[in-house]
A = this chain, B = another copy of it.
Amino acid sequence: MARRPLTKPRKSAVQARSRATVDALVEATARILVREGFDRASTNRIAETAGVGIGSLYQYFPGKEALVAAVIERHQREIRQAVRDELAEILDLPVEPAVRKLVALAVRAHRVDPKLHRVLAEQLPHLGKRDDQERFGGENFALFRTYLERHRDEIRVDDLELASFVCVTAIEALTHNAVLHYSKRLSGDAMEALIDEGARLVTGYLKG
């Protein structure tokens, strides 16, 4: 007889109604992550916050991890959108304006839902194997290395691998800390100054 009539589709939404349910679940996950932290984000609570039955949650997500992954994906999509096009043109600029634009871009990226970004960066690496350094940072690393290769004659470093590591790490940490930890200690125009300083730090390093 091989009955397979019901149970465990665990698949994706097709009707508008269910798409709304999925959205509500992802949104609720993000809100709870920001307001209560990762460990308080239980599947029961997420469903309740979303105004959705716990059973519905498990129709579309196999578990908490999948919810969080969806939140991450949505966040990264928003960042890519906020940054799109700019990256391409940076590749052809000379070092000084390129670095400055890059730092400004990093700040902008960190300002897309900073609270969520902070939670994702700080509380999640232990969960998904993909942390800031390996996934997101990895992309930036490769990109920056490409830039350095193309502009090799304008800079005074010989180990491009090492230089990429130094620059990407510095820019990432600087913007991350500035936006997520010191946005009060650093006043509004101080943030502008910080972009200058970060650019000067990296430019000076590259140009010897």
- Chain A residues packing against B (C-beta within 8 Å): 37-39, 119, 122-123, 125-126, 131, 133-134, 159, 162-163, 165-166, 169-170, 172-174, 177-178, 181-182, 185-186, 190, 193-194, 197-198, 200-201, 204-205, 208
Contact = CB atoms under 8 A, between A and B. Distances in A.
Q: When A and B form their complex, which 10 residue pairs have the shortest distance between CB atoms, in order from nearest?
A: A173-B173, A204-B204, A201-B205, A170-B170, A37-B126, A123-B126, A133-B181, A169-B177, A122-B125, A169-B173
Given A122-B122, A205-B201, A205-B204, A166 B174 contact: yes
Nearest to A165: B182
The interface residues of chain A, by DSSP majority, are classed as: helix
> How many of these chains are in the complex?
2
B198 A166 contact: yes
Contacts of A181: 133-134
A186 B162 contact: yes
Contact of A173 (B159, B170, B197, B204): B170
A177 B39 contact: no
A77 B174 CA distance: 27
A166 B201 contact: yes
Contact of A172 (B122, B166, B173): B173
Given A162-B186, A162-B193, 6 more contacts: A39-B39, A122-B131, A123-B123, A165-B186, A169-B174, A172-B173
13 contacts: A119-B126, A122-B122, A122-B131, A133-B181, A134-B181, A159-B193, A162-B193, A162-B194, A162-B197, A165-B178, A165-B182, A170-B170, A201-B205
Nearest to A125: B122
Contacts of A198: 166
